[in-house]
């Protein structure tokens, strides 16, 4: 078996945040000891509420910002120092797609010009070969050369995100980080764009880090899902199994709140307590003030992420092997 394309080891990132004009600076542990691997051709879905550290993780994985500690390896090698030739070579193999396609595009240029831009920058082939490649990319995202002649303002949100995808694929990357790529689109369009992404992934052998707060969307494309809560991974496992049998009380609440065929809304778990505040992370298990099953130990001791099955890790005193061990 080949080594994973992406290996993230214990990355952490702290920001200092001032609350109010005269407030004291507080440390925000945006990402705290996150480890994960993404196998070639697979999709890792990263879920969690707003502020849980998903985007920060994505930026560190892409080398857009350094971690305070920990390491990211891409294709077996550590991320090179920004600005070096080795870094440019690594970066050329990675692309990102964000939530807002209009923000990612230049309103003053026809979209075909924007798809061609990375090919021009890297001097790929002759000008006519680049024109051919742009047409091929437009077809790949199920648009036509006529769409290419338009300006971003004359396309729908879904069409714009297809253009962003075409441009991301122009230089034939191996790895895409998609950060809430369909969250700004109509629900009716979301599934289409995610299906397209999944088809292209299969055709091109792409590896994806797919970030979303929307479990429905993550479920559609992910092989493995990691659940974040206040900067830490609380549960990770293969997608079908995790959605069918969530172990962490937080994952259980998320899954129960996400509509799925065949499940009655009566089974929904409603979380009590305040939504998570990254600047005031609770002691012990950060989730314990909202956890319906918390015990005394949860308030004092941070649960480690431990394997509870061959393909599942959970950070919870009530779930891990530790719970049974302690009871014995």
Ligand X SMILES: Nc1ncnc2c1ncn2[C@@H]1O[C@H](COP(=O)(O)OP(=O)(O)OP(=O)(O)O)[C@@H](O)[C@H]1O
Among positions 17-36, residues that touch ligand X (CB under 6 A) are 17, 28, 30
90 binds, among ligand X, Mg ion, none (CB under 5 to 8 A by kind): none
278 binds, among ligand X, Mg ion, none (CB under 5 to 8 A by kind): ligand X
Q: Contact region for ligand X (CB under 6 A) — 35-43, 51-59, 124-132, 136-144? A: 51-59
Q: Taking every pair of C-alpha atoms in the chain, what is the biggest distance, in angstroms?
A: 72
Closer to ligand X by CB, 171 or 183: give it.
183
Closer to Mg ion by CB, 54 or 133: give it.
54
Q: Contact region for ligand X (CB under 6 A) — 43-51, 89-97, 125-133, 160-168? A: 43-51
DSSP string, 46-99: EE-STTSSHHHHHHHHTTSS--SEEEEEETTEEPPPTTSHHHHHHHHTEEEE-S
CB atoms within 10 A of CB 176: 24
Q: How far is the CB of 46 from ligand X (least distance, A)?
A: 8
Closer to ligand X by CB, 143 or 209: give it.
209
206 binds, among ligand X, Mg ion, none (CB under 5 to 8 A by kind): none
Q: How far is the CB of 101 from ligand X (least distance, A)?
A: 16
Q: Does 222 bind ligand X (CB under 6 A)?
A: no
Residues 6+ apart with CB under 8 A from 271: 253, 290, 292
Spatial strand order in the sheet of 94-97: 94-97, 175-179, 207-211, 43-47, 224-229, 232-238, 312-314, 306-309
Burial of 64 (0-12, 13-18, 19+ CB in 10 A): middle
- Report how far residue 227's alpha carbon sits from residue 250's, in angstroms, rounded to the nearest whole number: 9
Closer to ligand X by CB, 173 or 276: give it.
276
Q: Does 281 bind ligand X (CB under 6 A)?
A: no
Q: Contact region for ligand X (CB under 6 A) — 50-58, 130-138, 217-225, 283-291? A: 50-58
Q: Which two tokens stand for residue 141?
A: 């995202």
Which helix (H) or strand (E) element contains residue 115? helix 111-121
Q: Contact region for ligand X (CB under 6 A) — 49-57, 153-161, 186-194, 200-208? A: 49-57
- Report how far residue 102's alpha carbon sits from residue 160's, in angstroms, rounded to the nearest whole number: 7
Q: Does 15 bind ligand X (CB under 6 A)?
A: yes
Q: Does 48 bind ligand X (CB under 6 A)?
A: yes
| Site residues for Mg ion per CB under 5 A | 55
Q: Does 62 bind ligand X (CB under 6 A)?
A: no
List of residues contacting ligand X (CB under 6 A):
15, 17, 28, 30, 48, 50-56, 213, 278
């Amino acid at each position: 078996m080949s080594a994973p394309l992406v290996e993230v080891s214990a990355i952490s990132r702290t920001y200092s945040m001032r609350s109010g004009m005269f407030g004291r600076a507080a440390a925000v542990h945006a990402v705290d000891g996150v480890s994960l691997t993404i196998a070639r051709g697979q999709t890792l879905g990263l879920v969690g509420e707003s502020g849980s550290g998903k985007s920060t993780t994505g930026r560190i994985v892409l080398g857009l910002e350094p971690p305070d500690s920990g390491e990211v390896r891409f294709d077996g090698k550590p991320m090179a120092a920004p600005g070096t030739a080795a870094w440019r070579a690594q970066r050329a193999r990675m692309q990102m797609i964000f939530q807002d396609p209009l923000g990612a595009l230049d309103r003053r240029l026809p979209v075909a010009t924007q798809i061609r831009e990375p090919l021009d920058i890297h001097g790929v082939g002759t000008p006519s070969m680049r024109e051919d490649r742009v047409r091929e990319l437009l077809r790949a995202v199920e648009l036509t050369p006529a769409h290419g002649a338009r300006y971003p303002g004359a396309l729908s949100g879904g069409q714009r995100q297809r253009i962003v995808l075409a441009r991301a694929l122009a230089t034939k990357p191996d790895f895409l980080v998609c950060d809430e790529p369909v969250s700004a689109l109509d629900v009716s369009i979301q599934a289409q764009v995610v299906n397209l992404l999944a088809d292209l992934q299969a055709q091109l052998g792409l590896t994806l880090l797919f970030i979303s707060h929307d479990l429905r969307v993550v479920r559609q494309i992910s092989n493995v899902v990691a659940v974040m809560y206040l900067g830490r991974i609380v549960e990770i496992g293969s997608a079908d199994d995790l959605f069918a049998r969530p172990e962490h009380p937080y994952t259980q609440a998320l899954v129960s709140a996400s509509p799925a065929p065949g499940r009655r809304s009566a089974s929904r778990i409603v979380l009590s307590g305040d939504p998570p505040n990254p600047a005031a992370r609770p002691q012990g298990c950060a989730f314990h003030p909202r956890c319906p099953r918390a015990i005394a130990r949860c308030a004092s001791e941070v649960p480690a992420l431990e394997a509870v099955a061959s393909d599942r890790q959970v950070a919870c005193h009530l779930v891990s092997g530790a719970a049974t061990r302690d009871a014995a």
